[in-house]
Amino acid sequence: MLEILKTILYGIVQGISEWLPISSTGHMLLLNQFCPLFVFQDEVSNEAFFNLFLVVIQFGSILAVIVLFFNKLWPFKADKKESKEVWTLWAKVLVGIIPAGIAGILLDDIIDAYLHGPLVIAITLIFYGVLFFFIDEKKGIKNTRSLNQLSFKTAFLIGCFQMLALIPGTSRSGATILGGLLLGCTRAVSSEFSFFLAIPVMAGASLLKLIKAKFIFDAFSIMILLVGTLISFIISLFAIRFLMNYVRTHTFKIFGIYRVILGIVILAVLFLQ
């Protein structure tokens, strides 16, 4: 029962932090420092399961995007013009995932082995938090005010920014939103395209982790995965709606401030240990 309650907590943190630009992986790894999951008695199997768990419950977050933006994402429409626009959007998404997809396959094991520590998370939280504060302050001309105006070149370049999120603490949504802002997209367009990029990237990451899983699932581990995914889905529905409403009238500064404060707290804890 205790592990199920922990799983619910993980699902809540995942659902919130996946879409807000504050780093879901960073928060989940930090949560594991204070509230670790114990699904397998064998330490090696338990660690392997947790790494899988982190990625699989993201599937719930993906489903939330599909549900909320179904009309924008469903290409089989009666209106041929609308259908063409959706197919074009999916083509831009596919172009955008190329950089992170290649980098993820090549660097996945290296990142898992060397970059999942709290020091790395603290540094990246602070660094990108500062960037958010100053980039959102910049009063540049936003030429891309709708997804239809988003060019394939811009989609690819935003995908290059997404590669930065392979380092824990960066935030996938944060990296892509920053990229979109720097490339002349509005906050709304940057956020929406970030959501859509997540669908194939996170689905692919989940599949890759499942293929690499080196342990046998039992009923309890499957239940843990299902519960975490369900909670992540429910919380993501609220988090996405909140962010899309928020960015209409607010900047991302508050998230930058939060990241810097959290990073400093982590560094202080590490220093005092």
Written as one string, the DSSP assignment of 198-213 is HHHHHHHHHHHHHHH-
Q: What is the pLDDT at residue 48?
A: 81
- 131-172: pLDDT as tens digits: 888 876 665 666 788 899 999 999 999 999 998 888 888 888
Any alpha helices (H) in 74-186, and if so which ranges?
80-114, 118-135, 152-162, 172-182
Contacts (Cβ under 8 Å, ≥6 apart) of 119: 267, 270
Mean predicted lDDT score pLDDT of the chain: 88
Pair 227, 188: CB distance under 8 Å? no
- 2-30: pLDDT as tens digits: 899 999 999 999 999 999 999 887 888 88
Q: What is the pLDDT at residue 263?
A: 92
